[in-house]
């Protein structure tokens, strides 16, 4: 089976490409390198010993996507390509709506033209807004607190309507909680451009002395220590969830939470990182970030019952692999 992966050189995309290649899928990647690096292609080859076709193009470009589909004729698509920073989406909503919605609309049009009727979509726990109870189940009410989350929810709605209009179309929506960690090899991991928006890349850059201190956005949330609580999942576990989704995709639409079911606060994460890796992470408390919520963790039981998937890697693996990746990046410079 040939899988086209949009955003396949990004953090989650690259780990999913590794798992796909290791499972003998044929892989085609489309990535515009807006938040990824071309050298990830060679890293993936080094890990897997396998080649794949890469197109450095924008998924929003319908002409280019048409050319790629006509040449490659993929059997299924895994769609990662999107802008993904909550804070930035609040500052630049139009940019987020234009990119994140147009890429999905373009993809759906081209998939229809070339009779490619299976898609796994990279959604997010942000579609649950600020949940009234925890843990979060897939049938909870949906709402959003920031434009990034709204684009994810709108794309879910687009894909649902596509699946209703075409009874042969298979959609699997994967709602991620907070992916962290890196590949055991240290060759690929989360490497955002500029100051990181997500917690773990920020922690590792402070631990490795690239940045002076961590900014913790608010310590007055109604949580056990006042800092935000999230469900952190190892990116390799998350990547494996996409393979399960491809294997179990059937006509219609299905929704799955991919998380561990356990919530950790920002200060929990800092303290655990220091303990596991034996380094200090200086931090300061700053104002809350627009669009953030107090607490968010999954009930991942549906993914286990229907896909046979569950998170296998714990916090120690996440912390060690994240730090190993940044140290290896420094060595390679």
Confirm if 231 and 125 have CB atoms less than 8 A apart.
yes
Long-range Cβ contacts of 68-72 (<8 Å, 24+ apart): 68/4, 68/28, 68/30, 69/4, 69/110, 69/111, 69/113, 69/114, 69/116, 70/114, 72/2, 72/4, 72/28
Q: Name the active-site residue from 55, 148, 221, 323.
A: 148
Give catalytic status of residue 97 as yes or no.
no
Confirm if 57 and 65 have CB atoms less than 8 A apart.
yes
Is the peptide bond prior to 135 cis by the omega test (within 30 degrees of 0)?
yes
**Could you give the count of Cα atoms lying within 13 Å of 274 in the half-sphere of its Cβ?**
12
Provide the 10 A C-beta neighbour count for residue 46.
11
Sheet strands (E) in the chain: 2-6, 26-30, 53-55, 76-79, 118-124, 170-176, 178-180, 214-217, 229-230, 232-234, 252-258, 264-265, 283-286, 295-296
244 in helix, strand or coil?
A: helix
> Hey, which residues are catalytic here?
148
């Amino acid at each position: 089976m040939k899988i086209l992966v949009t955003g396949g050189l990004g953090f989650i995309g690259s780990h999913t490409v590794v798992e796909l290649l290791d499972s003998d899928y044929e892989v085609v990647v489309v990535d515009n390198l807006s938040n990824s690096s071309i050298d990830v292609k060679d890293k993936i080859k080094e890990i897997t010993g396998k080649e794949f076709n890469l197109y450095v193009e924008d998924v929003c470009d319908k002409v280019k996507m048409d050319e790629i589909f006509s040449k490659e004729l993929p059997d299924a698509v895994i769609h990662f390509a999107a802008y993904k920073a909550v804070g930035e989406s609040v500052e630049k909503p139009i940019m987020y709506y234009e990119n994140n919605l147009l890429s999905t609309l373009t993809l759906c049009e081209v998939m229809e033209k070339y009779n490619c009727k299976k898609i796994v979509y990279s959604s997010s726990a942000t579609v649950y807004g600020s949940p009234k109870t925890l843990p979060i189940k897939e049938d909870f009410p949906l709402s959003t607190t920031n434009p990034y989350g709204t684009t994810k929810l709108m794309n879910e709605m687009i894909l649902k309507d596509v699946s209703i209009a075409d009874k042969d179309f298979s959609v699997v929506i994967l709602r991620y909680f907070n992916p962290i960690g890196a590949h055991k090899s240290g060759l690929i991991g989360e490497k955002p451009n500029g100051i990181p928006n997500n917690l773990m890349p920020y922690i590792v850059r402070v631990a490795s002395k690239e940045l002076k201190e961590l900014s913790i956005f608010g310590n007055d949330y109604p949580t056990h220590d006042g800092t935000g609580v999230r469900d952190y999942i190892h990116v390799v576990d998350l990547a494996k969830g996409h393979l399960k989704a491809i294997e179990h995709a059937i006509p219609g639409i299905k929704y799955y939470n991919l998380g561990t079911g356990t919530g950790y606060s920002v200060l929990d994460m800092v303290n655990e990182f220091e303990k596991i890796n034996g380094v200090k992470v200086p931090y300061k408390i700053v104002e809350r970030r627009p669009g953030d919520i107090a607490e968010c963790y999954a009930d991942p039981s549906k993914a286990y019952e229907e896909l046979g998937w569950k998170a296998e890697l714990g916090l120690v693996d996440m912390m060690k692999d994240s730090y190993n990746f940044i140290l290896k990046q420094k060595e390679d410079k």
